[in-house]
Amino acid sequence: MPELSRRRALTTAAALTATAGAHTAVAPATRANDHHTPGSPDSPGSLASPASPASFDEVYKGRRIQGRPTAGGGHHGDGHHGGGHHGAGYAVFVDGVELHVMRNADGSWISVVSHYDPVPTPRAAARAAVDELRGARLLPFPAN
């Protein structure tokens, strides 16, 4: 039996690390369910199309959150509230201030407030932002 070379040991360690990372990558998806209301369009099993999330307008924990498709479609805003988001043609607002959102390649959403906690929908991103803000006012995100 050949001796364990340094290259083989590093390759094995990298494979084990990647496998362990794949298991922890599942954890944020379960946390995202914290922002679901049973029967809401964000609930798992919803019939809402992942390509174009539905508009929403609600009060969540005393904050008005809104979201809607935009005509600009992506890196350029629709001219309303300053635009400049990367939300794949979707704008989200907390108390009238635009929340910068971005859609990930896997279809999940993140915001400038909760960047490391991907969620399934823009509504869930708005709710996560309200949770993170803990009553603080959302400041406008400067456009490039």
Question: Is the pLDDT reported for residue 128 higher than 70?
Answer: yes
Question: Is the pLDDT reported for residue 29 higher than 70?
Answer: no
Amino acid at 9: A
36 phi and psi angles, rounded to 5 deg: -100, 145
Domain extent at residue 105: 29-35+51-144
| 54 band by pLDDT with thresholds 50, 70 and 90 | very high
Distance of alpha carbon 27 from alpha carbon 43, whole angstroms? 17
Question: Is the pLDDT reported for residue 122 higher than 70?
Answer: yes
Average pLDDT of every residue of the chain: 72
Question: Is the pLDDT reported for residue 20 higher than 70?
Answer: no
Q: Is residue 61 part of a domain?
A: yes
Total structural domains in the chain? 1
Distance of alpha carbon 5 from alpha carbon 123, whole angstroms? 51
- Distant-in-sequence, close-in-space partners of 47: CB < 8 Å, separation ≥ 6: none
pLDDT of amino acid 4: 59
pLDDT of amino acid 52: 77
CA atoms within 13 A on the CB side of 23: 5
The domain that holds 74 is classified in CATH as 3.30.1880.10
